Amino acid sequence: MAAARVADPMASRETVGPSAPDGSPLPDRSLPSFERDVRRMFTHIAQGYEWFDHVASLGNDLLWRPRALWDLDRFRRPGPLSRVLDIGCGTGELARLLARHYGATRVVGADFTRAMLENAVGSSAGRPERPRLDFTRATVLKLPFADGAFDVVTNAFVARNLSDLSAAFREVQRVLRPGGVFLTLEITEPASLTVHRLFHAYFDRVVPWLGAAMGSAGPYRYLPLSLRSLPDRAAFLKLLSGSGFPRIVARPQSAGIVTTFLAEAGGPSNPSNESR
């Protein structure tokens, strides 16, 4: 793909981190280089990312993002949205969907992997929603935006890659206006034992096998490992609540294989203390 231009306020110096036997990156959460290795991993898989995502999820990811926006519309208080931020936007699938779904809204997609952003810009070129879409390079842990700049902040399949969830939640809370909504869409453990067994047989064995066949053994071995590092649904909600979001809810999809977490930011004009 021709190099697409992306606003890049981050300096980067990538060096080689842990790898799988085929040489592909395999990030290890216990190492100080974890963030850099996650970035290296997404650089490695950026080119075929969307295609592999559709294959590995058996096409379900095409339903999960729109359903998450449906959940968002039922959770948020009525009113127009002027600015939405999608963090860890990757190749821009959710950011484009947001821009299409909220016709008059400006959407910013932010990600710390340049190769993913280049795909986001390339895939968005010529689309009717493009004039309302911006992409920028930034880490979720230090967002280059003013306090209260956004009505909604979203992220899809990013949380389990973060080195410090609480720090990320506090940063999201900072850039949201009081009463603004934070949406997280993430892979979660299904509640039913049968679905749990099927899910793990597929996710822990078939997906890494598919990944290895594509020369990406590391990234797709990392995928099931990353899920184990994510707090369960109740602990995730507790973490949100402890990070200054007084109204929170979890909406499971596909028998709980993924969950939409929704959290309303507190603040001076939103003294809500309700939790449901």
Ligand X SMILES: C[S@@+](CC[C@H](N)C(=O)[O-])C[C@H]1O[C@@H](n2cnc3c(N)ncnc32)[C@H](O)[C@@H]1O
Q: CA-to-CA distance for 82 and 96, rounded, in angstroms?
A: 15
Residues of this chain, 209-248, that bind ligand X according to CB under 6 A: none
Q: Is 89 in the site for ligand X (CB under 6 A)?
A: yes
How many angstroms separate the Cα of 40 from the Cα of each of 14, 74, 114? 7, 37, 10
Alpha helices in 89-232 (DSSP H): 93-101, 114-124, 165-175, 193-201, 207-213, 217-228
Q: CA-to-CA distance for 185 and 258, rounded, in angstroms?
A: 7
Report which of 266, 241, 108, 244 is spatially closest to residue 177, judged by C-alpha positions. Answer: 266
Report which of 243, 235, 238 is spatially closest to residue 266, judged by C-alpha positions. Answer: 243
Q: Pick one of 52, 102, 150, 157: the residue that binds ligand X (CB under 6 A).
A: 157
Q: Is 184 in the site for ligand X (CB under 6 A)?
A: no
Q: Pick one of 27, 88, 218, 266: the residue that binds ligand X (CB under 6 A).
A: 88
- Give the contact letters, 5-44, x = binds to ligand X (CB under 6 A), - = no: ---------------------------------x---x--
Number of residues that bind ligand X (CB under 6 A): 19
Q: Pick one of 24, 119, 124, 139: the residue that binds ligand X (CB under 6 A).
A: 139
Residues of this chain, 95-114, that bind ligand X according to CB under 6 A: 111-113
- Applying CB under 6 A, the residues found at the interface with ligand X are 38, 42, 88-90, 93-94, 111-113, 116, 139-141, 156-158, 161-162
